[in-house]
Amino acid sequence: MASQEYMDKMQIRQNYRNLWHSDLMSTIQRDPPYCCLAFWCGPCVSYMLRKRALYNDMSRYTCCAGYMPCSGRCGESKCPEFCLCTEVGSLSIWSVLLLVLLQLMP
Protein backbone atom coordinates (compact mmCIF):
# COMPACT_ATOMS: atom_id res chain seq x y z
CA MET A 1 0.00 0.00 0.00
CA ALA A 2 2.75 2.45 0.92
CA SER A 3 4.66 1.74 -2.26
CA GLN A 4 1.55 2.35 -4.38
CA GLU A 5 0.98 5.65 -2.57
CA TYR A 6 4.61 6.58 -3.23
CA MET A 7 4.25 5.72 -6.91
CA ASP A 8 1.09 7.83 -7.16
CA LYS A 9 2.91 10.82 -5.68
CA MET A 10 5.80 10.34 -8.05
CA GLN A 11 3.41 10.22 -11.01
CA ILE A 12 1.82 13.48 -9.93
CA ARG A 13 5.23 15.12 -9.48
CA GLN A 14 6.25 14.21 -13.01
CA ASN A 15 3.50 16.50 -14.25
CA TYR A 16 4.84 19.50 -12.31
CA ARG A 17 6.38 22.22 -14.38
CA ASN A 18 9.90 23.05 -13.30
CA LEU A 19 9.67 26.63 -14.46
CA TRP A 20 9.21 29.87 -12.56
CA HIS A 21 6.81 32.47 -13.88
CA SER A 22 9.77 34.84 -13.93
CA ASP A 23 13.40 34.56 -12.97
CA LEU A 24 14.67 36.22 -9.80
CA MET A 25 16.34 39.14 -11.54
CA SER A 26 13.26 40.20 -13.51
CA THR A 27 10.67 39.74 -10.76
CA ILE A 28 10.44 43.42 -9.91
CA GLN A 29 9.96 44.34 -13.56
CA ARG A 30 7.28 41.72 -14.16
CA ASP A 31 5.16 42.43 -11.06
CA PRO A 32 6.04 45.78 -9.45
CA PRO A 33 2.78 46.16 -7.47
CA TYR A 34 3.21 42.80 -5.75
CA CYS A 35 6.87 43.49 -5.00
CA CYS A 36 5.93 46.85 -3.46
CA LEU A 37 3.20 45.20 -1.42
CA ALA A 38 5.66 42.56 -0.18
CA PHE A 39 8.23 45.24 0.66
CA TRP A 40 5.87 47.59 2.50
CA CYS A 41 3.51 45.05 4.03
CA GLY A 42 5.40 41.78 4.47
CA PRO A 43 2.99 40.31 7.05
CA CYS A 44 0.06 40.77 4.65
CA VAL A 45 1.89 38.88 1.90
CA SER A 46 2.97 36.25 4.40
CA TYR A 47 -0.67 35.77 5.42
CA MET A 48 -1.75 35.43 1.78
CA LEU A 49 1.01 32.91 1.01
CA ARG A 50 0.23 30.78 4.04
CA LYS A 51 -3.47 30.76 3.19
CA ARG A 52 -2.62 29.86 -0.41
CA ALA A 53 -0.40 27.00 0.81
CA LEU A 54 -3.45 25.70 2.70
CA TYR A 55 -5.44 25.84 -0.56
CA ASN A 56 -7.59 28.61 0.99
CA ASP A 57 -9.05 26.02 3.37
CA MET A 58 -8.52 27.44 6.85
CA SER A 59 -9.91 24.27 8.43
CA ARG A 60 -6.48 22.80 7.57
CA TYR A 61 -4.68 25.50 9.56
CA THR A 62 -2.58 24.48 12.55
CA CYS A 63 -0.51 26.96 14.51
CA CYS A 64 3.10 27.05 13.28
CA ALA A 65 2.16 24.37 10.73
CA GLY A 66 2.37 21.77 13.47
CA TYR A 67 6.13 22.17 13.97
CA MET A 68 6.08 23.74 17.43
CA PRO A 69 5.10 22.15 20.77
CA CYS A 70 2.18 24.59 21.11
CA SER A 71 0.67 23.55 17.77
CA GLY A 72 -2.90 22.37 18.05
CA ARG A 73 -3.19 23.60 21.63
CA CYS A 74 -3.76 27.28 20.93
CA GLY A 75 -7.45 27.05 20.05
CA GLU A 76 -6.73 27.80 16.42
CA SER A 77 -9.62 25.65 15.23
CA LYS A 78 -12.08 28.19 16.68
CA CYS A 79 -10.66 31.20 14.86
CA PRO A 80 -7.89 30.23 12.44
CA GLU A 81 -7.77 33.62 10.70
CA PHE A 82 -6.97 35.42 13.96
CA CYS A 83 -4.33 32.87 14.92
CA LEU A 84 -2.70 33.15 11.50
CA CYS A 85 -2.65 36.95 11.83
CA THR A 86 -0.78 36.65 15.12
CA GLU A 87 1.61 34.12 13.62
CA VAL A 88 2.59 35.87 10.38
CA GLY A 89 5.13 38.15 11.97
CA SER A 90 7.42 35.34 12.98
CA LEU A 91 7.05 31.87 11.54
CA SER A 92 4.63 31.97 8.65
CA ILE A 93 7.19 32.12 5.84
CA TRP A 94 9.12 29.18 7.29
CA SER A 95 6.00 27.13 7.81
CA VAL A 96 4.89 27.80 4.21
CA LEU A 97 8.30 26.68 3.01
CA LEU A 98 8.11 23.50 5.08
CA LEU A 99 4.55 22.75 3.92
CA VAL A 100 5.51 23.09 0.27
CA LEU A 101 8.73 21.09 0.66
CA LEU A 102 6.99 18.28 2.51
CA GLN A 103 4.37 18.04 -0.21
CA LEU A 104 7.12 17.66 -2.81
CA MET A 105 9.16 15.10 -0.89
CA PRO A 106 8.60 11.40 -1.56
Tell me what the mean pLDDT of segment 8-26 comes to: 73
Query: Is 1's pLDDT higher than 90?
Result: no
Query: According to the model, what pLDDT value does residue 62 have?
Result: 85
pLDDT, tens only, 40-94: 988 888 888 888 888 899 998 888 777 777 778 878 888 899 888 888 866 656 6
Query: According to the model, what pLDDT value does residue 93 have?
Result: 62
Residues 6+ apart with CB under 8 A from 31: 22
Is the pTM for the entire model greater than 0.85? no
pLDDT bracket for residue 33 (50, 70, 90): very high
The Cα–Cα gap between 10 and 43 comes to 34
